[in-house]
Chain A
Amino acid sequence: MRTLLAVMRKDLTIEGRSRDLIPAMTLLALLLLALSGSAGIRGASGAIVIWIAVVVSAAIGLTRSFGQETDQEQIYGLRMAPVDPGWIFLGKSAANFLLVVAVELISLGAAVVFLDFPAGGQIAPLAGVLFLGGAAVVSLGTLLGAVLAITRLREALLPLLLLPLSAPAVMAASGATAKLVGTPPEPVTSEVALLCAFLTLFTALGMVLFEYAVED
């Protein structure tokens, strides 16, 4: 547990120092939303745009999250520490999750502005879906980032693999988001169930596989 907090604090401190990751992630998300808006996407259809923006910026964040672990082979330093690798995984996931949530909230705001996304009145359930969906994407993304950390061309490969692999989470989250703001709003129990299953599977897998991913 101490490990989780230490790793999380370390990641967030580094991001706080360089202060270039959140702007990059957010700008990209805002750009996608602005473009869709100018292309005529309106209302509940904006849901999928929000989630594409989330996944794409998550990929950027994740690439960076593991980029900082490779320039001085820090990831081997982590590997050699007398801690359970599963906790390192959770610590990095937690830090990435916070970054992604920040981008999600900004994206939601941008969707309301650019796409007339009818979020009003459904803020609480929407926030729930954003958190759950974000956590799902981050759990898979952190595992993928670790797996790709010591390979060449990580920057190109991570988005390429993250998008199809996270498709179930993106589709479920996007479907739930659209349903919640639809007229009338529809129940999203199946989507939430899927997101929970996704999150559970990849968090568990991440905790188990992390140490094998960081071994050569």
Chain B
Amino acid sequence: MLWIVLSAIALPAGIVLALFIAPVEAFQGDPYRILYIHVPSVVAAYVAFTVTCVASVLYLWRRAPQYDRLAASSAEVGQVFLTLVLLTGPIWGRPVWGAWWTWDARLTTALILWFIFAGYLMLRAWAGPAGAAASAAVAVIGFLDIPLIHWSAVLLRTLHPRPAVFRPDPAMPGSMLAILIFNMAAFLLTYLALLTVRVRQEAERARLRAAQETG
């Protein structure tokens, strides 16, 4: 409940700050504001997937259903944020760099990760009763794969040089940084809120099924 309330306040506040209060960036102009959504989404997505991985390891070890529910819910919410990352990337890129997509190492990693978690979610949906352990293993494999994916994306970038990456001006004025951090916090709160809702929903569903069983 607390998360939902906090995020309901923080998220809109963050967006208002991003769109109206933040100073104008000299080089990129207004479109740069999407950074305030893009970067926090990345943070939220990776936090979500880390939670999924940890919960999956715990599930494989202990086989307690609550770990399974946590892993699945976190992956779902994480995928939403990751989709946002992949959508805001081109929205930023097109007006600023003239290209819808650049094979920037981090964006490429995000894209491949998106496919991995899409597969994970499909596995959960289709796999039948053995799906919980299987998806937990896939989550662990996917998570350990991330550094390798990033490494290969960097390698390929040197093979085909591309324009400069999505990186905000290193000498970022304090106000920008503050708003960015505020938005990161807001997105994380939103993640926690959505996660809690989802986990509770799954727990209820499980309780209902168990009640039907013993009846």
Q: Give the chain A neighbours of B122 by CB distance below 8 A.
A: 157, 160
Q: Given contacts A152-B126, A157-B126, are A171 and B141 in contact (CB under 8 A)? A: no
Q: Given contacts A144-B138, A144-B141, are A168 and B127 in contact (CB under 8 A)? A: no
Complex Cα–Cα for A168 and B141 (A): 13
Cβ-based interface call for A147 (8 A):
yes
Evaluate contact between B137 and A213: CB separation under 8 angstroms.
yes
Complex Cα–Cα for A201 and B155 (A): 19
Evaluate contact between A161 and B155: CB separation under 8 angstroms.
no
Q: Give the chain B neighbours of A190 by CB distance below 8 A.
A: 155
Complex Cα–Cα for A72 and B140 (A): 29
Complex Cα–Cα for A23 and B115 (A): 29
Q: Given contacts A150-B130, A164-B119, are A179 and B159 in contact (CB under 8 A)? A: yes
Evaluate contact between A148 and B134: CB separation under 8 angstroms.
yes
Cβ-based interface call for B163 (8 A):
no
**Interface-lining segment among B88-96, B143-151, B165-173, B202-210:** B143-151
Evaluate contact between B155 and A191: CB separation under 8 angstroms.
yes
Evaluate contact between B137 and A212: CB separation under 8 angstroms.
yes
Q: Given contacts A179-B159, A194-B152, A213-B133, are A161 and B119 in contact (CB under 8 A)? A: yes
Which of A152, A156, A175, A212 lies in contact with B159, CB distance below 8 A? A175
Cβ-based interface call for A6 (8 A):
no
Q: Give the chain A neighbours of B148 by CB distance below 8 A.
A: 168-169, 194, 197-198, 201
Cβ-based interface call for B131 (8 A):
yes
Q: Give the chain A neighbours of B144 by CB distance below 8 A.
A: 201, 205
Cβ-based interface call for A181 (8 A):
no
Complex Cα–Cα for A37 and B67 (A): 49
Evaluate contact between A168 and B152: CB separation under 8 angstroms.
yes
Evaluate contact between B141 and A194: CB separation under 8 angstroms.
no
Q: Which positions 149-163 of chain B face chain A at CB distance < 8 Å?
A: 149, 151-153, 155-156, 159
Report the interface size for chain A: residues with CB under 8 A from the other chain. 37
Q: How extensive is the interface on chain B, given as a class?
A: 20 to 34
Cβ-based interface call for B215 (8 A):
no
CB B61 to nearest CB in A, in angstroms, measures 9
Cβ-based interface call for B60 (8 A):
yes
- Of all chain A residues, the one with the shortest Cβ separation from B125 is A153
Complex Cα–Cα for A150 and B120 (A): 16
Complex Cα–Cα for A161 and B119 (A): 6
Cβ-based interface call for B15 (8 A):
no
Q: Which positions 173-216 of chain A face chain B at CB distance < 8 Å?
A: 175, 178-179, 190-191, 194, 197-198, 201-202, 205, 209, 212-213, 215-216
CB A147 to nearest CB in B, in angstroms, measures 4
Q: Which of A150, A151, A191, A205 has the most CB of B within 10 A?
A: A151
Cβ-based interface call for A165 (8 A):
yes
Inter-chain pairs besides A148-B123, A153-B126, A215-B133, 12 sampled, C-beta below 8 Å: A143-B141, A151-B127, A152-B126, A152-B128, A164-B113, A165-B142, A165-B145, A168-B148, A168-B151, A169-B148, A212-B60, A212-B133
**Interchain residue pairs with CB less than 8 A apart (29):** A148-B127, A148-B134, A152-B126, A152-B128, A152-B130, A156-B126, A161-B120, A163-B115, A164-B112, A164-B115, A164-B116, A165-B145, A167-B149, A168-B145, A168-B152, A169-B152, A171-B152, A171-B155, A171-B156, A172-B152, A175-B156, A175-B159, A190-B155, A205-B141, A212-B60, A212-B137, A213-B133, A215-B133, A216-B133
A interface residue numbers (CB < 8 A to B): 140, 143-144, 147-148, 150-153, 156-157, 160-161, 163-165, 167-169, 171-172, 175, 178-179, 190-191, 194, 197-198, 201-202, 205, 209, 212-213, 215-216
3 closest cross-chain pairs (CB), A and B: A164-B115, A168-B152, A151-B127
